[in-house]
Amino acid sequence: MKRLTILALMALFTMSLFAQQNPEQGKPRFDPKEFQQRMEEALTRQAGLTPDEAKAFFPIYKEMKEKQRGISVQIHQLKTQCNSDEAAYTAAITKIKQLLVESAQLEQAYYRRLLEVVPASKVFKVMKAEDDFHRRMVQGQRGRRGGAGRGQGGPRAPQE
């Protein structure tokens, strides 16, 4: 009986250790700092930003994204909290559309600022690289959940 208990405990510890080493088996935790770092590295590499350009670019870029995130939160709240009458729905739609216009204007103003510190070609490459990065991340998530298709295997480094 003692041997069986020891064997069971060893098996349990081994499985626990394996599960910790392979987050793909369970739900890996999302780390926003790691995500941000990986995204910045990918954008820097794909856009060909120099260290000085990246140093000037990313504080402005982060500020823009933070303000856009705030607008997105407001839109999400409007969409989830509105469930009363037609007048409330109309008001919510109007406010959401105003917030979307505000987000677009904010983005336009920040891109003007970014063009002052980095050449337009690199700003454009960052925009494209950001889309590619997010697409790879979504495809990687589909692959982890067992979805079929292109997304299996997680995000890959871009082909150069």
Q: Quick: pLDDT tens for 76-85.
A: 999 998 877 8
Look up the pTM and report it. 0.66
Calculate the dihedral angle through the C-alpha atoms of 51, 54, 56, 60, rounding to the nearest 10 degrees: -170
Distance (Å, rounded) from C-alpha 132 to C-alpha 151?
A: 13
pLDDT value at position 150? 47
pLDDT value at position 81? 87
On the question of pLDDT at 1 being above 90, the answer is no
Q: Structural domain boundaries of the chain?
A: 47-138
Distance (Å, rounded) from C-alpha 33 to C-alpha 45?
A: 18
Q: Quick: pLDDT tens for 53-73.
A: 999 999 999 999 999 999 999
pLDDT value at position 35? 86
Q: For the residues 39-48, what does the mean pLDDT come to?
A: 94
Distance (Å, rounded) from C-alpha 147 to C-alpha 154?
A: 11
Q: Quick: pLDDT tens for 114-125.
A: 999 999 999 999
Distance (Å, rounded) from C-alpha 155 to C-alpha 126?
A: 18
Q: For tokens 């954008």, name the residue.
A: 43
